[in-house]
Structure 1
Amino acid sequence: MNKVKKIISVLGLSVVLLFTGAANAEIKIGVIDVMSVLQQMPQRETVGKALDKEFEARAKTLQQEEKKANDAAARLKKDGLTLSSSEKTKLNKTISDFENKAKAFSNDYRKRETEEASKLLTKIQEAVKKIVEEEKYDLILKAEATLSASDAVDITNKVLEKVKN
């Protein structure tokens, strides 16, 4: 029985010493506000302009079709009881076609926006990796995941400077 107690004591002491050593080692932690960096990146404005240009023709066409759809809806509301069934069907089709095109446009725009945002996030990740290597950080946390952090550990501006270059 004494041997078991000695083994447990030795193991317990080893664990305590292990954790004491880890507690004495300095851990360098950084916090980054990714959304802030994303919002302030100069590339973000360039991407926005490129997307607007890419979708400009479709947006203009959609605006024209929106006017037709609004006119059709107004006519249905005003004259709905007196219109023939084929005329109602035609007006409903105009409205439905516009809604489908608007939905497709919105989905396509969002998809492209997500693709471009992903590229920007990759640049942010690369900047963070460089800072981690250069300044020997052990842990980087997203600001959204922390309850509180001092300005001393905030590396948001450092990352922003890296992505600007």
Structure 2
Amino acid sequence: MKSLSRHFTLAVLLGSMAFAVQAQEFKAGFVNTDRLFREANTAKAAQAKLEQEFSKREKELVDQGNSLKAASEKFEREAPTMAESQRNTRQRQLVEQDRDFQRKRREFQEDLNSRKNEELAQVLDRANKVVKQVAEAEKYDVILQEAVYINPKYDITDKVLKALNAATK
């Protein structure tokens, strides 16, 4: 009976030692994708590309909005002295112009969001490839991209940024 107890204790001890050794070999890392989207050269290039692509339309929308606002203010000032039929006609025109402006603004925002998602997907794809390269080179078992809390010692975002920026030069 004593021998069985010793064997059991020895087995538990060896098992816990094996688990401790395995736990030490497990290597985890974390990558902050928000930082990648802000700091990576590819992300900055994508942002510049989007700004260039959409700046003309945005300026046209701002100009149209300012023009509509000026026309509306002018109407408010002149409305009391206008004939009712003229006031109704001008009010319908302003409503129609506002509707057109709102539609164009909505289309602009949808187009911008769609292009931004396309560009961010490309940046994320490149970043994921670099993350995989870093993980394989440094023998990580798992790399997380989202977590409620992460100890800063597991954050490999700087390594990934350095590798990602070096790959784009």
TM-score by length of structure 1 reads: 0.78
1:163 aligns with 164
Instruction: Determine the structure 2 residue equivalent to 1:59.
Output: 58
Correspondence list, 1:39-54, <5 A: 39-54=38-53
Equivalent pair of 1:132/1:138 in contact (CA under 8 Å)? yes
Q: Deviations over 1:65-84 (max 9, x none)?
A: 11221123223433445453
Contact preservation (8 Å) 1:127, 1:162: yes
* Cα root mean square deviation, aligned: 2.6
Number of equivalences: 151
- Shift of residue 87 of structure 1? 1.7
In structure 2, distance between residues paired with 1:92 and 1:72: 11
Q: Which string of whole-angstrom CA distances, capped at 9 and with x for unpartnered residues, describes residues 23-54 of structure 1?
A: 53121111111211221111222212211221
Give the Cα separation in 2 of the matches to 1:23 and 1:119. 40
**Could you say which residue in structure 1 is the equivalent of 2:147?**
145
**Identical residues among aligned pairs (%):** 26
Q: Hey, what's the Cα distance between the residues in 2 that align with 1:150 and 1:56? A: 38
Aligned: 1:109 with 2:108: no
Residue 118 of structure 1 and its aligned partner are, at CA, apart by 1.0
Q: Provide runs of 4+ in structure 1 moved above 6 Å.
A: 16-20
Give me the TM-score of the superposition, normalised by structure 2.
0.76
8 Å contact from structure 1 (residues 72, 94) kept in 2: no
Q: Is the 8 A contact 2:38 2:44 kept in 1?
A: no
- Unmatched tracts of structure 2, length 5 or more: 1-10
**Are residues 1:69 and 2:68 paired?**
yes
Secondary structure in structure 2 of the residue aligned to 1:140: strand
Equivalence for 2:4: none
Aligned AA for 1:85?
N
